[in-house]
Chains A and B, each alone.
Chain A
Amino acid sequence: SKTLFFISFEPFRGGLDCATVEPLFYCSVSSDLEEKRIPLPSNSQSLQSCTVTVFILFLQIPLRSDYGYKVSLFSHLHQYSRKAPLTQQISIPATVIHPSIVRLGLQYSQGIVAGSNARSVALLHAFKQVIQDYSTPPNEELPRDLVNKLKPYISFLNQCRPLSASMGNAIKYIKKEISNIPSQCKEEEAKKKLLLCIDNYVNEKITLAAKAISKCAIDKISDGDVILVYGCSSLVNHILCEAFEKQRKFRVIVVDSRPRLEGREALRRLVKRGIRCTYVLISAVSYILPEVSKVFLGAHALLANGYVMSRVGTSQIALVAKAYNVPVLVCCETYKFCERVQTDSFVSNELDDPDDLIVTREGKTQLADWQSVKSLGLLNLVYDVTPPDFVDLVITELGMIPCTSVPVVLRVKNVDQ
């Protein structure tokens, strides 16, 4: 492990100002930082009344570098290229990071595992593997050591692809379960208990929740309905397939958007079941909305002020649906509820690989050399935020609630825990 120093000079209150040394290295893993205040020798005149803050950090996780020109409004976010995965910079043997986590990180960054539920389930399975292969080192306690072991894994996964709200909640739950293990518990027993906890979490919060939500949602689907869905939400697809099996007569309009074209996957799944579908791109949404009777949307996360964070394009669909007076229903499990508050899509978002926006049509790739044009930026946003006035109903496994009641659910959940 290498050691690097970050030195910054801070002026005393009302004292002399001085130059700040450029940071030599910056690491986002704040838990590995140790802060030490060392007074400077008194012979340096201009630096007399300054203190030196020395951060000693141990470099374990390589940093991924940003790629391409970032639009100034989103310059606080990271923009990575898919062609430069983080794993290229990790030396072999990677004793620090468990191989299943490395594999998971690659799957995230290349987009092989995508979608909120899929990512959370994959994360929990990888953690199960980690726990199975874990053995407590001597003179260490399992709860504390295991939690410390997980920290670099989480920062690695965060570098591969920023964590989603559902993943964050899952990690919080696992850390809590690990810390709650009594110290006299034997290692084998503790590991078995943890594996069982993780299985229960996946079962309760994802699988059974989906069943409860589809039961509620099917009540809202009547015969002759024309339902609009956007992109590919595993929960919405599940609901539609269940409703079709319960002999409800409806047809579906799948709206899709570039560059991910996730709607094609949803279309594939629905058509395989035999549901009548129509496929449009998002630019045609105001054209087909007069035909639609209901809009079903999935959510990536539900924020504490009632805003819905979902795939970019969702708020556009909700806006147009409101203008046409079509009810908008959001389906979301409660483990995706997060305590964050956001009113716009800028402050916290994810920037995907800008090269995805380049398309080759008729043998010509117009934007192939976009990097040479200094003032040109390609923006590939992943999420956007829908205000609660556009959403009529949120279906969770606790029942049907209005969007403004999300903090009530969070409060009830906190009381339970």
Chain B
Amino acid sequence: VDNRKLVEYFRTQMSQDPDVASAVAAIRSLLEFLKRDQSETILGLRENLTKAIGRLQEADSSVAVSSGGELFLRFISLTSLENPDLSQCRNVMIERGELFLKKISLSRGKVAKLCHTFIKDGAKILTHSSSRVVLKVLESAAADKKRFTVYVTESQPDSAGKLMADKLRRLNIPVTVVLDAAVGYIMEKVDLVIVGAEGVVESGGIINKIGTYQMAVCSKAHNKPFYVVAESFKFVRLYPLNQQDVPHRFKYKADTLKTAEDLNQEHPIIDYTPPSLITLLFTDLGVLTPSAVSDELIKLYL
């Protein structure tokens, strides 16, 4: 199967349904790839899938695509594939793949159900950039007849915060857009901070849009709770010690990685927030403290 077609399929998935998580779109494309794959052995199939995941990562360098792909691969090959007939094995794998996809499509709803109870009536919430999970959480809180106001950071360089503000206005939630530099200024007014995550790492920290780390440091200084909402397919087997330790393939956009001459001159688009600054993580596996993330990861990956 042509790798270009795979990337095209992925991109069409993303554009057709703007609300879908990039990892879900990646997994849908991988499932399609699996259905059309022509390899003769299971090992060959796995190799092709791994190469396909690599291709998707080149197209969209977010952490979620990488983690989603790896988890998908593990989930479908976790069964005992002892059947000598390859097509039977392939059918079993496709079945498990569909099951996995169905499970993770429901995860955002589960997260929203857990988190919206933490938003009290009259709360002032600060959030960063545009996250579909945070949007869903605020949506369910509003549906629960809670009154709250939201401050969104502008989040340069792509001004994603303004998109978030538009979506919130359509839900009739009072929202204010603030500058990225105004986070310290606004922190004393807010009651809690909720952010999404592109990836949750083994230490319990998160990788998210640049600017999240300074928001976490500010909220720690003001003793405001810092909540993270993320689906479980975003758990990734990375363990960064500091900002420099995050691999380059996640820090920059895929096109930048290919064309840039000196990466030190480019602006990274994500940063790492260590677990000591995070109060709680809301996932479809439950409400976790950062130290429990490692426990869940051991269960998922081992």
Contact = CB atoms under 8 A, between A and B. Distances in A.
B298 A412 contact: yes
Interface of A: 220, 294, 325, 327, 329, 389, 392-393, 398-402, 404-405, 408-409, 412
B78 interface: no
A402 B276 CA distance: 12
B266 interface: no
Contacts of A294: 241
Contacts of A408: 294-295, 298
Contacts of A409: 298
A388 B24 CA distance: 36
A327 B242 contact: yes
B204 interface: yes
A310 B302 CA distance: 29
B211 interface: no
15 contacts: A327-B241, A327-B242, A392-B203, A393-B203, A393-B239, A398-B302, A399-B237, A401-B202, A402-B204, A402-B275, A404-B291, A405-B294, A408-B298, A409-B298, A412-B298
A295 B222 CA distance: 30
B294 A393 contact: no
Given A393-B203, A405-B291, A400 B298 contact: no
Interface residues of B, number: 15
Contacts, number: 38
Given A400-B202, A402-B202, A392 B241 contact: yes
B294 A401 contact: yes
B239 A405 contact: no
Contacts of B295: 405, 408
Contacts of A398: 302
A291 to B, nearest CB: 16
Contact of B241 (A220, A399, A412): A220
Closest 9 CB pairs of A and B: A327-B241, A404-B291, A405-B294, A400-B239, A408-B295, A402-B203, A402-B294, A408-B298, A392-B241
A306 to B, nearest CB: 9
A393 B298 contact: no
B33 to A, nearest CB: 29
Most chain B CB within a 10 A radius of its CB, from A325, A327, A405:
A405
Contacts of B294: 401-402, 404-405, 408
A289 to B, nearest CB: 15
Contacts of B202: 400-402
A400 B275 CA distance: 15
Contacts of A399: 237
Interface string B271-301: 0000110000000000000010011001000
Contacts of A325: 242
Given A393-B203, A400-B202, A405 B241 contact: no
Nearest to B241: A327
Nearest to A329: B241
Contacts of A392: 203, 241
A416 to B, nearest CB: 11
Nearest to A219: B239
A405 B293 CA distance: 9
